[in-house]
């Protein structure tokens, strides 16, 4: 019998016979992937690329550790306090910013419909703002958020405790009167704390723009009616806005601390 010549492979990889399957690295790679679920290495060892060393997120996907909750709010609160100190200093020394503020206040006083601006100024009165906050506090207590309700009540108690001494200390005259004690604006502080705290207590994001509009309407009405200078309103917003931001950041941090990890 004459032996059949076996097909030889050429340098180009072509031969006269059909290609024969030879198990190699590709098969081991596929098999390793199906067994271990690791798309990077077939032998189960951790890969040496930086991507393989990333930690997974809560859902198991690659990701990084999220930033600490509430940190941006603390930064904004600190900036608000710095702005309040700047404005207060200018009012105390009758600086150029206070002089510009008085010129703007005189130009704005008396503008706009009287009934509308008066309505806006009344939004910061206790008969209007306090019942809104009381309803939100009752809702928070009913939902078991007693600590947050206590913070909201303490924030409202701080309004006269901080505003009255500042009024007596700075002794700023009003736009249309010789009486003094107009900085900062107590009505603006009351509106900001009452409506802002109500939005935080109910945990309804849709109420945050509503609280912002009500506070802005209060400050605008006070300036247009000639009850306060613009910086009186701005000072109250900076001071008590920083407090609300701090409370909001603490609440988020406490809530994230109670969230069970997966």
Per-residue model confidence as pLDDT tens digits over 11-43: 444 455 555 555 555 444 444 444 444 555 555
Mean pLDDT estimate for the chain: 81
d(CA 70, CA 74): 6
The 10s digit of each residue's pLDDT in 54-111 is: 555 455 555 444 444 557 888 999 999 999 999 999 999 999 999 999 999 999 999 9
Predicted pLDDT of residue 48: 54
Q: Which two tokens stand for residue 107?
A: 């130009």
Nearest-angstrom CA–CA distance, 237 and 188: 7
Residue that is written with structure tokens 């990333």 in the block: 54
Nearest residue to 237 (alpha-carbon basis) of 181, 199, 196: 196
- As beta bridge partners, residue 56 has 62
**What is the spatial distance between Cα 132 and Cα 214, in angstroms, rounded to a whole number?**
12
Between 138 and 27, where is the model more confident?
138
For 61, the 3-state DSSP assignment is coil
Supply the pLDDT for residue 249.
Answer: 78
What tokens does 178 get?
A: 């010789």
Contact criterion met (CB below 8 Å) for 262 and 58: yes
pTM: 0.72
Taking only the tens place, the pLDDT of each residue in 214-230 is 999 999 999 999 999 99
CB 184 within 8 A of CB 236: yes
């Amino acid at each position: 019998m004459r032996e059949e010549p076996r097909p030889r492979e050429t340098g180009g990889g072509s031969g006269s016979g059909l290609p024969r399957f030879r198990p190699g690295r590709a098969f081991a790679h596929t098999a390793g992937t199906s067994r271990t679920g690791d798309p990077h290495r077939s032998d189960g060892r951790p890969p040496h690329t930086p991507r393989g060393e990333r930690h997974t997120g809560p859902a198991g996907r690659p990701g990084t550790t999220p930033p600490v909750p509430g940190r941006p709010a603390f930064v904004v609160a600190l900036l608000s306090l710095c702005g309040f100190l700047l404005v207060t200093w200018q009012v105390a020394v009758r600086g150029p910013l206070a002089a510009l503020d008085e010129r703007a206040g005189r130009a704005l006083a008396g503008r706009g419909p009287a009934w509308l601006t008066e309505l806006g100024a009344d939004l910061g009165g206790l008969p209007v703002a306090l019942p809104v906050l009381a309803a939100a506090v009752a809702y928070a207590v009913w939902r078991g958020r007693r600590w947050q309700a206590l913070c909201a009540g303490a924030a409202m108690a701080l309004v006269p405790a901080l505003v009255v001494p500042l009024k007596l200390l700075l002794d700023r005259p009003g736009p249309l009167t010789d009486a003094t004690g107009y900085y900062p604006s107590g009505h603006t502080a009351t509106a900001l704390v009452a409506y802002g705290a109500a939005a935080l207590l109910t945990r309804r994001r849709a109420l945050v723009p509503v609280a912002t509009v009500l506070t802005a309407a209060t400050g605008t009405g006070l300036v247009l009616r000639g009850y306060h200078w613009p910086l009186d309103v701005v000072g109250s917003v900076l001071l008590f806005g920083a407090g609300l931001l701090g409370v909001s950041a603490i609440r988020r941090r406490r809530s994230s601390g109670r969230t069970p990890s997966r």
